[in-house]
Amino acid sequence: MKILQLMNRFPWPLKDGGALGYYNFIKGYHDAGCQVTVLTFNTTKHFVEFDSLPEQVKQLATFHLVPLDNKINPFAALGNLLFSRESYHVSRFISQDFHKALQNLLNQEHFDVVVFESVFMAPYLKTVQLNSKAITVLRAHNVEYEIWQRLSVQTTNPLKKFYLNVLAKRLQHFEMGCMNQFDALTFVTQTDALHFKQFGLNKPAYVAPTGIDIVRLKPDTNQIIPNTILHIGSMDWMPNQEAVQWFIQEVWPGLSAKHPQLVFKIAGRNMPGHFYTFNGNGIAVLGEVEDAIALMQSAAIMVVPLFSGSGIRIKILEGMALGKCIVSTQLGYCGIDATDGKDIHLASSANDFIRVISNLLDNPLLITNTSIAARRLIEEHYESKSIIQKLLHFYQTIKKQ
């Protein structure tokens, strides 16, 4: 099968869920014997020097990179708000250079399937339909507008609330308006699939969570540093910023009072500068780290206090594969078929987080049992090879509209 993936960023380095979500499917298709081509933006935000990439990455696919300056421009954002009804999020990824590169690629090669990795690549659907007979598939990594809708609910600043609400509504209009123009859609969670169906999705749909490389990710309890908890995630994503700040302000004072030796490590790409002011009193703000897996191995407990967002948290899946004990909100582990108290631990308030984490710290056997159960869950339900094979079978069942 010849597959073309269209991406709004290059998936490297593997230090955040977005990169992992894209990369794991490139590798999965390749390992399954597909001929993979990737046409992707090389953005200012996630810029890569292609020549410096590891050879094992370059060999996974034929890559074509189109430069894009996608930095948020306050004047453009204001102009969009005042003089346009289009989604600002989507408009930042509209590029004539990308249109031309895509058209040339489609005229030169035949593809069986074109996968649009996220709704932000949907503006290029007509170009594909006019230049190719390939099956078109939208992979919805999130319900994108829900992220901004929930952020608007959380904020107390009236101007910010108004602006976020406008962003959410415009993105919702675009997201739900284009879904039935594809031949099929795939989702990372059943919850997201049901959401689209409630808004009128009438095309074939399939749920394929991001697969995990269980060979690369293996538990190693010898690396655990006692009295250490961790949050790791891309810190240029607003829901993560919101989550970490809430945990520091609402949970950490009470938790550290009960466990004075406890250290809370915070890591992730593009750490906002003001987070470094939280250093001290048991908090260690690390920013981007060279080896995320080694850092995850060092903590027995990972916290995911998300109250906004959508899709599936790949860092939770990776943490579980590494045998980490995860403490998360319901939203944080939405879409993961985990059981509270068995392979993950649920907390919905500051007092819950303090109680649950304290109980784990006081009962090492509970951490061990959770670790074993978490790893088993990943092996049985989230192993990459099995997920990809089932997804490829789904592609074969799609009829061109």
Residue 309, pLDDT score? 66
Question: If you average pLDDT over residues 29-55, what whole number do you get?
Answer: 95
Distances (CA, A) of 342 to 58, 93, 372, 377: 40, 42, 9, 10
Peptide bond before 13: cis, by omega within 30 degrees of 0?
yes
In three-state secondary structure terms, 293 is helix
In the structure, what pLDDT confidence band is assigned to residue 320 with cuts at 50, 70 and 90? very high
Q: What was the pLDDT predicted at 84?
A: 66
SS3 205: strand
Residue 260: predicted pLDDT: 96
Question: Which tens digits make up the pLDDT trace of 329-383?
Answer: 988 887 788 999 999 999 999 999 999 999 999 999 999 999 999 999 999 999 9
Confidence of residue 401 (pLDDT cuts 50, 70, 90): low
The two structure tokens encoding residue 331:
């939203």
pLDDT band at residue 82 using 50, 70 and 90 as cut-offs: low
The b-or-e profile of 126-136 (16+ CB within 10 A means b, else e) is: ebbbeebebbb
* pLDDT computed for residue 42 by the predictor: 96
**Of the candidates 313, 89, 318, the residue with the CA atom closest to the CA atom of residue 192:** 313
DSSP class of residue 330 equals T
Strand partners, 6: 39, 116
Model confidence at 83: pLDDT above 70: no
pLDDT at 79 over 70: no
Q: Count CB-CB contacts under 10 A for residue 281.
A: 11
Q: Please, which residues bridge with residue 264 across strands? A: 229, 283
pLDDT confidence band for 55 (50 / 70 / 90) = very high
Inform me whether the pLDDT recorded for 76 exceeds 70. no
What does the pLDDT read at residue 315? 86
Q: Which residue has the tokens 């049992």?
A: 369
Average pLDDT over residues 385-398: 94
Average pLDDT for the chain: 91
User: Quick one: which of 28, 196, 8, 239 has its CA closest to 102?
Assistant: 8
Greater confidence (160 vs 47) lies with 47
**Which tokens sit at 275?**
């987070």
Query: In one letter, which amino acid is 382?
Result: Y
Q: In terms of DSSP H, where are the helices of 74-219?
A: 74-83, 88-91, 96-108, 125-131, 144-154, 158-178, 190-198
Q: Output the pLDDT for position 313.
A: 83
- Res 216 pLDDT > 90: no
Which of 215, 234, 293, 322 minimizes the C-alpha distance to 17? 234
CB atoms within 10 A of CB 176: 18
Flag whether pLDDT at 72 surpasses 80: no
Q: Hey, how many other C-beta atoms are within 10 angstroms of the C-beta on 148?
A: 25
Q: Note the pLDDT of residue 397.
A: 94
Check whether 189 has a pLDDT greater than 90: no
Collapse the DSSP code of 272 into the 3-class scheme (helix H, G, I; strand E, B; otherwise coil) and give the result: coil
pLDDT at residue number 58: 96
CA-nearest of 5, 76, 20 to 292 is 20
pLDDT at 77: 63
Query: Which tens digits make up the pLDDT trace of 100-121?
Result: 999 999 999 999 999 999 999 9
Grouping H, G, I as helix, E, B as strand and the rest as coil, residue 189 is: coil
- The domains found in the chain, sorted by start residue, are 2-211+383-397 (3.40.50.2000), 221-381 (3.40.50.2000)
| Mean pLDDT for the stretch of residues 40-47 | 93
Which pLDDT score is estimated for 399?
77
Is residue 90 over pLDDT 90?
no
Share of the chain above pLDDT 70, in %: 96
The CA–CA distances, whole Å, from 174 to 5, 68, 126, 144, 156 equal: 21, 21, 15, 10, 26
Mean pLDDT, residues 228-235: 93
What is the mean pLDDT of the segment spanning 290-319? 88
The residue whose two tokens read 């059943």 is 190
- Interatomic CA distance for residues 267 and 284, integer angstroms: 9
Neighbouring C-beta atoms of residue 287, cutoff 10 Å: 15
For 5, 21, 30, 32, the CA distances from 27, given in Å and listed in that order, are 12, 11, 5, 8
Q: What does the alpha-carbon distance between residue 76 and residue 357 come to, in Å, rounded to a whole number?
A: 44
The number of residues in the chain equals 401
175: which 2 tokens?
A: 């997201």
Q: What is the b/e burial string over 189-213, where b = at least 16 CB atoms within 10 angstroms of the residue's CB?
A: beebbebbeeeebebbbbbbbbbbb
The whole-number pLDDT of residue 237 equals 83
Can you say whether the dihedral through the CA atoms of 400, 173, 161, 163 is positive or negative? positive
- Average the pLDDT over each of 62-66, 168-172, 247-251 and give the range with the smallest value: 168-172
Tell me the helices (H) and strands (E) count for the chain, helix number first: 16, 13
Most confident of 142-146, 163-167, 208-212: 208-212
Taking only the tens place, the pLDDT of each residue in 244-297 is 999 999 999 999 999 999 999 999 988 999 999 999 999 999 999 989 999 999
**Region of residue 143 (left: phi > 0; alpha: psi -120 to 50; beta: else):** beta
| C-alpha dist (Å) from residue 192 to 146, 173, 208, 225 | 10, 16, 11, 37
Per-residue pLDDT, 89: 78
Which residues 6+ apart lie within 8 Å of 373 measured at CB? 342, 343
204-212: average pLDDT: 91
What is the structure's pLDDT at 120?
94
Q: Is the pLDDT score of 43 beyond 90? A: yes
